[in-house]
């Protein structure tokens, strides 16, 4: 398969995306950098946060949506920063109104401001409400295969386990759990959180993840735009390696890559 023919799209809630990399828009120095990094990443699904507007301050302040127009990208409003199911649901109702009825959302309910570990009890409760209200829910979750299956059973359109904690950059800490989640899932599984550098993204994709969502790994790089480009390639490389099927690992091999016959000095002899 040739890589850029888009024969291998990521399908979420019935819609196809050529890029398997999803990126956030937080922690950039300004909107120009946000836009440049998003462009370099090739991502089509872009997460945004929903926050109270400043009242009466800087009325001419630029808007994120001018830099990342909803006409060009699929915006994925998220509930990052919410610590209860209620807050998460209210936030996404506001997001749907803000984005003219757009119903693809990222649900994330945190349990602890120190570690940013998700609260899965609140997440499950919010997911039930949101699905019943017609939202298409991509859900951030711990890497527990049973919870992941419950979220899928509720009707979430994608399950997004952490690779390690949000913003930690610690990479893929439990590939075995991720593999179980991927094996069991009938909806796309995306690693969300924990990726630190390009190899982490490639490993996630080689495990069989359908996509990777990241923010800090790009935004906190010394050169975010260059890292965005690296992540694009890593996700593509990881996906192709997964599809290609890797060679088996073994501690040593008696089969070198070059022919064993026809050597000018036969094997085992010295001149």
| Residues involved in catalysis | 106
If the CB atoms of residues 94 and 243 are measured against another protein, the closer one turns out to be 94
Binding part of the chain for another protein, among 50-58, 121-129, 197-205, 240-248 by CB under 8 A, reads 50-58
Kindly state the helix (H) or strand (E) to which residue 229 belongs, with its residue range: helix 224-244
- Give the list of residues 6+ apart from residue 139 with CB closer than 8 angstroms, or none: 106, 107, 108, 123, 127, 151, 156, 158, 159, 160
Q: Per-residue contact track with another protein, 161 to 200, x per CB under 8 A?
A: -----x----------------------------------
Residue among 19, 41, 44, 78 that touches another protein (CB under 8 A): 78
Other beta carbons less than 10 A from residue 54's beta carbon: 9
Q: Closest distance between another protein and the C-beta of residue 126, in Å?
A: 16
Binding part of the chain for another protein, among 91-99, 145-153, 204-212, 226-234 by CB under 8 A, reads 91-99
| Three-state secondary structure call for residue 185 | coil
Binding part of the chain for another protein, among 4-12, 60-68, 223-231, 257-265 by CB under 8 A, reads 60-68
238 binds another protein (CB under 8 A): no
If the CB atoms of residues 95 and 182 are measured against another protein, the closer one turns out to be 95
Q: Closest distance between another protein and the C-beta of residue 41, in Å?
A: 13
Q: Tell me how many residues contact another protein (CB under 8 A).
A: 37
What span, in angstroms and rounded, lies between the C-alpha atoms of 246 and 130? 39
Residue among 215, 232, 236, 238 that touches another protein (CB under 8 A): 215
What's the DSSP call for residue 8? Answer: S
- Give the list of residues 6+ apart from residue 26 with CB closer than 8 angstroms, or none: 49, 80, 215, 216, 219
Contact 93, 101 (CB under 8 A): no
DSSP 135-168: -EEEEEE-S-HHHHHHHHHHT-SEEEE-SSSTT-
51 binds another protein (CB under 8 A): yes
25 binds another protein (CB under 8 A): yes
- Phi–psi pair at 263, nearest 5 degrees: -70, 145
Q: Which residues bind another protein (CB under 8 A)?
A: 24-28, 34, 47-53, 55-56, 59, 63-65, 75, 77-78, 80-81, 90-91, 93-95, 97-99, 166, 213-216
């Amino acid at each position: 398969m040739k890589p850029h023919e888009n024969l291998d799209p990521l399908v979420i809630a019935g819609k196809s995306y050529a890029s398997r990399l999803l990126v956030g828009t937080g922690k950039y120095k300004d909107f120009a950098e946000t836009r440049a990094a998003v462009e370099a990443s090739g991502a089509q699904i872009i997460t945004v946060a929903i926050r109270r507007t400043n009242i009466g301050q800087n009325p001419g302040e630029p808007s994120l949506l001018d830099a990342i127009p909803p006409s060009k990208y699929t915006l994925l409003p998220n509930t990052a920063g919410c610590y209860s199911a209620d807050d998460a649901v209210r936030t996404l109702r506001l997001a749907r109104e803000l984005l003219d009825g757009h119903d693809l959302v990222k649900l994330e309910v945190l349990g602890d401001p120190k570690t940013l570990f998700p609260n899965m009890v609140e997440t499950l409760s919010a997911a039930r409400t949101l699905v019943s209200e017609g939202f298409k829910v991509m859900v951030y979750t711990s890497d527990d295969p049973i919870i992941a299956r419950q979220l899928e059973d509720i009707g979430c359109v994608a399950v997004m386990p952490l690779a390690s904690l949000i913003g930690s950059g610690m990479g893929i800490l439990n590939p075995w759990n991720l593999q179980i989640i991927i094996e069991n899932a009938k909806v796309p599984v995306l690693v969300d959180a924990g990726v630190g550098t390009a190899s982490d993204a490639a490993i996630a994709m080689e495990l069989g993840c359908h996509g990777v969502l990241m923010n800090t790994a790009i935004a906190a790089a010394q050169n975010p735009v260059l890292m965005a480009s690296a992540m694009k390639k890593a996700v593509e490389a990881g996906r192709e390696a997964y599809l290609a099927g890797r060679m088996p690992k073994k501690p040593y091999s008696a089969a070198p890559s070059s022919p064993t016959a026809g050597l000018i000095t036969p094997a085992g002899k010295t001149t």
